[in-house]
Amino acid sequence: MNKTTGSLQARNTNIKLARRSSVIPFQKLPTPQLPPRKSGVYSSVAAMVSAMRPTAPVNCLRPEVIANISKWFVQNFPGEVMFAVKTNPDPRVLRTISRAGIKRFDVASLAEIVTVANNVPNAKMYFMHPVKNREAIFAAYFTYGIRDFSLDSHEELQKILEVTNHADDLNLYVRLSMASDKAAYSLAGKFGVKLEQASSLLMATRKASRKLGLCFHVGSQCLNPQAYDDAIQIVVDLLTQTDVRLDVLDVGGGFPSVYPSMTPPPLMDYMQAIKDSLAKQPMLSGCEVMCEPGRALVAEGGSVVVRVELRKGNMLYINDGTYGSLFDAGIPNFTYPVKAIRPAGEMSSELMEFGFYGPTCDSMDTMKGPFYLPADINEGDWIEIGQLGAYGATMRTNFNGFYSDTTVEVGDKPLLSIFGVN
Ligand SMILES: Cc1ncc(COP(=O)(O)O)c(C=O)c1O
């Protein structure tokens, strides 16, 4: 053996040794699922975790749950129901809701219009964002046949009229500013004409409309049905002062879902409050009535399954966070129902309070909870986080490269239900 061959052999042996020590344990890990599976149907979340062992967050949809709540709304709301698409624009959700009998969709952007048009052929869309760009109004009216638009200013009214060439078939909805004090989430800060300025806008809009509508939003996750009665009384007082004929009253969204720290009254109380309120206002007797629920229709029909990547005391570093599907668990501090999943073994029956850190570098990616989970939860365990069918996956960003597009359908019950199914 010459000197060169000998040193080459020694080098190869060194490389093999180095590989043995540092690379082999890594090779034992399962191959990461890249790109992730985009769909699938499983009997339960546990069955999905056993089969997929997902390394990225998985959104789980329960179409049957969404269908049942949608049917319940159609049967019990005293008017027409439209779905607020922003809450969950997943095509499977849109199709499920439509099959359940809801044919009207509240859209906020051109992207939502295109999604609805592509997935629900006979949908009737309402462009209910009070501030729209001209291009979106143009496409909505001329390409997608939308005739219903909301507004909260004379400037927006003018914009809609100019872009549609002063069309005579517009149904325009004046959005009224409404207190959100009975809701967990205020929607009063940004949109809605103030009561003092509403009369002149109503009169101008009446002149430009085929049908004149009035809409309001009592805030999201409204915890007191009285809010709708109060709002309807304000509408009636305004109509009395202004003396305009109203064709449509849209009582907005705001119907609640249930969360571990927030148990609202039964949904039927909201329906009854609206029915009673309408019944005592003869002025509204000829009006078409509508609502635009989002959260209540879809929250419990969706969850996200995350994996624990590290535990530090009672904080769990998980692979989804406030820049992903868990925005509301951050600063708004919504707590969600949780369930730990360890396919290969038992977990402690003792529950402890945990908080979560999301995967990004930002300290705001922190979710205080508390989330109650088994005391021995650790790296490699999965957690199902419930009530995320609304304002969950729709809020995802690609920040830090953490974005998961995997959605599966599951057939088991949600972790929590406003109808008390569990
Ligand atoms: C115009 C409009 N309609 C409906 C909704 C749906 O509200 P919720 O999910 O509270 O029912 C929202 C929520 O932001 C909204 O802005």
Over residues 7-44, the pLDDT tens digits come to 445 444 444 444 444 344 455 555 554 444 456 899 99
CA-closest candidate to residue 372, choices 334, 338, 326, 332: 338
Instruction: Identify the residue whose C-alpha is closest to ligand 1 atom 7.
Output: 253
Instruction: Identify the residue whose C-alpha is closest to ligand 1 atom 1.
Output: 128
Q: Which atom of ligand 1 approaches the CA of 183 most closely?
A: 10
What are the start-end ranges of the E strands in 54-120?
58-61, 80-84, 104-107
CATH number of 63-298: 3.20.20.10
CA-closest candidate to residue 385, choices 330, 321, 314, 304: 304
The verdict on pTM exceeding 0.85 is yes
Retrieve residue 309's tokens. Answer: 């990547």
373 alpha carbon to ligand 1 midpoint, in Å? Answer: 31
Which of 73, 77, 87, 387 has most ligand 1 atoms within 8 Å of CB, for mutation?
A: 87
Retrieve residue 49's tokens. Answer: 């975790």
Q: What is the pLDDT of residue 235?
A: 96
Confidence of residue 182 (pLDDT cuts 50, 70, 90): confident
d(CA 413, CA 65): 8
CA-closest candidate to residue 146, choices 101, 175, 99, 109: 109
d(CA 106, CA 103): 10
Question: Which residue ranges have their beta carbon within 6 Å of ligand 1?
Answer: 84, 87, 106, 128, 187, 217, 220, 252-255, 292-296, 390
Q: Which atom of ligand 1 approaches the CA of 222 most closely?
A: 10
- Say if 36-60+299-410 and 63-298 have the same CATH topology: no
Q: Which residues contact 119 (CB under 8 A, 6 or more apart)?
A: 91, 94, 95
Contacts 24+ apart (CB under 8 A), 157-164: 157/201, 157/204, 157/205, 157/208, 159/132, 159/134, 160/132, 160/208, 161/208, 162/134, 163/134, 163/137, 163/138, 164/137, 164/138
Strands 104-107 and 366-374, sheet pairing: unpaired
| Helix and strand element counts for the chain (H, E) | 12, 19
Q: Which amino acid is at 31?
A: T
Q: Which atom of ligand 1 approaches the CA of 215 most closely?
A: 1
Confidence of residue 180 (pLDDT cuts 50, 70, 90): confident
| Opening angle at CA 128, ends 80 and 114, nearest 5 | 95
| Cα separation of the two ends of the chain | 76
- The answer, yes or no, to whether residue 421 has pLDDT greater than 50, is no
- The answer, yes or no, to whether residue 392 has pLDDT greater than 70, is yes
Overall average pLDDT of the 245-262 stretch:
96
Overall average pLDDT of the 147-170 stretch:
98
CA-closest candidate to residue 137, choices 116, 117, 158: 158
Average pLDDT, the chain: 91
Which of 69, 86, 215 has most ligand 1 atoms within 8 Å of CB, for mutation?
A: 86
CA-closest candidate to residue 250, choices 210, 291, 280: 291
- The answer, yes or no, to whether residue 48 has pLDDT greater than 50, is yes
Would you say domain 36-60+299-410 falls under CATH 2.40.37.10?
yes
Quote the percentage of the chain above a pLDDT of 70: 90
Query: For residues 333 and 356, is the Cβ–Cβ distance under 8 A?
Result: no
Retrieve residue 72's tokens. Answer: 């319940």
Confidence of residue 165 (pLDDT cuts 50, 70, 90): very high
Overall average pLDDT of the 256-275 stretch:
95
Q: What is the pLDDT of residue 11?
A: 47
Instruction: Provide the residue ranges of all domains of the chain, joining segments of one domain with +.
Output: 36-60+299-410, 63-298
Peptide bond into 264 cis (omega under 30): no
